[in-house]
Structure 1
């Protein structure tokens, strides 16, 4: 009730009861103890009235749990409604003009006085629940875990391998995928994700390959997987080509040179000229999502794994044997070959077979070979590998007979793809090196391993493993 406003009392000494109504002049709100004679006149001293004068107490006494007047709250509770707060604080000056105070909070004038029917208003809704972030934004807002900035303590051990190990490490640090490149790829993923989902709401878009596995170079392509629900009536390859053609018409709006390669696994190749990124987009090759997770786990098991994979890729690129379109080895096949060597060629083994992570720590702890020695042994291992009868298998953690690979009853496995160089895919059991089917190209690859091993073993300088101009 406003300060200074006239106050209405019923003759029975209370609010809302039957009887006469008396009006009193305005009182200060701070002084809520009313004159004794006025209260006695209201009671009349009769048995029907109050024999004992009633002492009116302040609000805080009647409601000991309510907040004080200085709390700037309306009706004794926190309210977000500024109009309630202003009314409760006595900002309405109608009482000073002799007018009746406005009926507040839905109060109604009944037969005997005011009925305190206060209308409780709910608080304003809190901040709406934040929308779920899309996958690219989670990577953009998170920290980049892959870039190595510190040299491991056991890189050098005072042996003859120290110079070569330092050269390998320096080349890895300079060529690894940087945080800047990673964020460029994530921004491109975000743009494509939002745009494709706007046009084709049922499509899913995933980043796979070295960008996410930890084996990426700063010059590596970006691999994307477009996922569409399979259709039983359509053969998987035809289904993939159908949807990639849908996307191709959109991609050519910003890259007129985009190309759809109709291989066994169709690939849509295009370039983001703004960021200088080369992109390979496949459709429904979901095994790439699974093997990306597997390679990511391997990259974290031992600090020597990533430098060896990076160096092997750079070495193969220098010798022109790292391009599946030219019937040589893909980067994925080279990565599997390095992991297989660390399972079988290193003694004791550094990495376990797929699915046996419990043996990883023990093997890495026993093997303390430096980077230089491991790289030299890697070249020797594949220079002497029995390609005609055995296949590389990360799944088994061992060499497996090619005849067994041909006889596997996997859905995508074709016996005719196991020819000259065989590297088993851990999940769908196909040959990831099936692009090497030309005898001349195969001999070039094997000779490159042999010649590089001989020169590096003689000089122990990294330049000896690179092509001699």
Structure 2
């Protein structure tokens, strides 16, 4: 590592993992130079494509108004409830495309106190407590369902061909579709710390630090959907995990780093949550960072180059040996860590440490070998010297278009590699 790389790391409070980056430069440097114009044209095409698909302001406002209406009608029927209706996910991070789902959390810590009162004086195991919390969440969802089905103020806004569906996956939700086409997933959170809200707040600020973050997330998610890399039900990543992979890559996998470690740069400002125990009591989604970011070297890479670097970084990433920590902006050894949540997840093919709590957004992955094979196939699309099928005539190299990437056909099928699925819904960010 040279002095400039060390300075940039310290400035942005990240610990870079630059071996893949230097290998990338050695392998693809000539291709980047030879096809420089093509890479720039691809980047402009990506930008134009996603600018057209981006969630518009009027759709955002309709989603916020729906949240306000939900809060009002639930309060009208349950005046003793102390709760908030909080929009989370891509709708509020700046990463949403038009007609994307709205994720809403009914945040009601008051209900947790009721559960704890029932536990007083009884010997309750942690598993029994989780069951009681889940039963309370279900009870609240059933009450909300009755409100939606009977309240005359909100009924006209709901598409009753779809109705109000109760989905009892790992996270229980009510799913509604409005008459103007918004699909809304409503969950219940009893914890004082609302993880999804703090995640959304952090991701929103990453998107504001550098426009390439949001664009790269969009490219990776659409490419992931076409190749089934983004397919949590059948062993792929969910949307949130892919966003964290992009975050880690832009913090630690390229030089100079593009994203800083925001949590640690503003650790003493009570602006970002540090954990599920240390967090600001209120968040203002319109507030700027407490002070400007420190000055450091500029990374001039185009988004198409960064997409290629991203694929190279993870195509050979040793997920069995290392896990990703966004909070600490580094990779850590899975066996040498003292963190119990990581050690207890050794059966999981991928461990991505959530920025705030102990859950693993990478837990859905059960087809890692196939996912990394698809990444290598995508990389080969950019390589004029990539191996081809020896039984067919070698075709002239054609630099891939955006459609080639975002509508990529692959012979590799994402299916479970031995571990049963858990029926998880995708998590959007």
TM-score, shorter chain, exceeding 0.5:
yes
Q: Is the 8 A contact 2:73 2:147 kept in 1?
A: no
In the aligned structure 2, how far is the partner of 1:360 from the partner of 1:218? 31
Paired residue for 2:147?
250
Q: Say if 2:227 is the partner of 1:319.
A: yes
In the aligned structure 2, how far is the partner of 1:224 from the partner of 1:325? 21
Mark the runs of 5 or more structure 1 residues left unpaired by the alignment.
1-156
Paired residue for 1:434?
363
Q: CA RMSD in A?
A: 2.6
Listed as ranges, the matches of 1:397-436 within 5 Å are 397-403=329-335, 407-409=338-340, 415-416=344-345, 419-436=348-365
Q: Say if 2:135 is the partner of 1:238.
A: yes
In the aligned structure 1, how far is the partner of 2:141 from the partner of 2:222? 31
Question: Structure 2 vs 1, CA of residues 457 and 250 (structure 1 numbering), >3 Å: closer, same or farther?
Answer: farther
Listed as ranges, the matches of 1:197-346 within 5 Å are 197-201=75-79, 202=81, 203-228=83-108, 229=110, 230-231=112-113, 232=116, 233=119, 235=130, 236-252=133-149, 254=158, 255=160, 257-272=163-178, 274-284=179-189, 286-346=194-254
Q: Say if 2:370 is the partner of 1:444.
A: yes
Question: Structure 2 vs 1, CA of residues 329 and 200 (structure 1 numbering), >3 Å: closer, same or farther?
Answer: farther
Paired residue for 1:461?
401
Q: Is the 8 A contact 1:225 1:282 kept in 2?
A: yes
SS at match of 2:308: helix
Question: Structure 2 vs 1, CA of residues 302 and 391 (structure 1 numbering), >3 Å: closer, same or farther?
Answer: same
Cα deviation for residue 457 of structure 1 reads 4.1
Q: Is the 8 A contact 1:393 1:424 kept in 2?
A: yes
Cα deviation for residue 356 of structure 1 reads 3.3
Q: Say if 2:90 is the partner of 1:161.
A: no
In the aligned structure 2, how far is the partner of 1:431 from the partner of 1:332? 11
Q: Is the 8 A contact 1:177 1:217 kept in 2?
A: yes
Q: Is the 8 A contact 1:390 1:402 kept in 2?
A: yes
Deviations 1:193-243 (A, max 9, x none): 211111123232111111111111213210101111213135333322221
Question: Structure 2 vs 1, CA of residues 349 and 270 (structure 1 numbering), >3 Å: closer, same or farther?
Answer: same
Q: Is the 8 A contact 1:354 1:397 kept in 2?
A: no
Paired residue for 1:141?
none
If you compute each CA radius of gyration, which structure gives the higher value, 1 or 2?
A: 1
Question: Structure 2 vs 1, CA of residues 266 and 186 (structure 1 numbering), >3 Å: closer, same or farther?
Answer: same
Q: Is the 8 A contact 1:269 1:278 kept in 2?
A: yes
SS at match of 1:289: helix
| TM-score normalised to structure 2 length | 0.65
Paired residue for 2:394?
none
Q: Say if 2:61 is the partner of 1:179.
A: no
Deviations 1:96-137 (A, max 9, x none): xxxxxxxxxxxxxxxxxxxxxxxxxxxxxxxxxxxxxxxxxx
Cα deviation for residue 311 of structure 1 reads 1.2
Mark the runs of 5 or more structure 2 residues left unpaired by the alignment.
1-34, 120-128, 151-157, 267-291, 385-398, 411-429
Deviations 1:348-396 (A, max 9, x none): 1111224134795534x42111111111101111111111111222111
1:352 to 243, 247, 260: 260
SS at match of 1:300: helix
Question: Structure 2 vs 1, CA of residues 321 and 158 (structure 1 numbering), >3 Å: closer, same or farther?
Answer: closer
In the aligned structure 2, how far is the partner of 1:448 from the partner of 1:408? 31
Question: Structure 2 vs 1, CA of residues 211 and 431 (structure 1 numbering), >3 Å: closer, same or farther?
Answer: same
Cα deviation for residue 252 of structure 1 reads 4.8
Cα deviation for residue 318 of structure 1 reads 1.7
SS at match of 1:395: coil
Question: Structure 2 vs 1, CA of residues 354 and 430 (structure 1 numbering), >3 Å: closer, same or farther?
Answer: farther
In the aligned structure 1, how far is the partner of 2:375 from the partner of 2:255? 20
In the aligned structure 2, how far is the partner of 1:416 from the partner of 1:400? 14
Cα deviation for residue 418 of structure 1 reads 5.7
| TM-score normalised to structure 1 length | 0.60
Aligned residues: 305
Cα deviation for residue 300 of structure 1 reads 0.8
In the aligned structure 2, how far is the partner of 1:262 from the partner of 1:426? 26
Listed as ranges, the matches of 1:57-76 within 5 Å are none
Paired residue for 2:70?
192
In the aligned structure 2, how far is the partner of 1:332 from the partner of 1:280? 15
SS at match of 1:283: strand
Q: Is the 8 A contact 1:414 1:430 kept in 2?
A: no
In the aligned structure 2, how far is the partner of 1:268 from the partner of 1:326? 22
In the aligned structure 2, how far is the partner of 1:348 from the partner of 1:380? 17
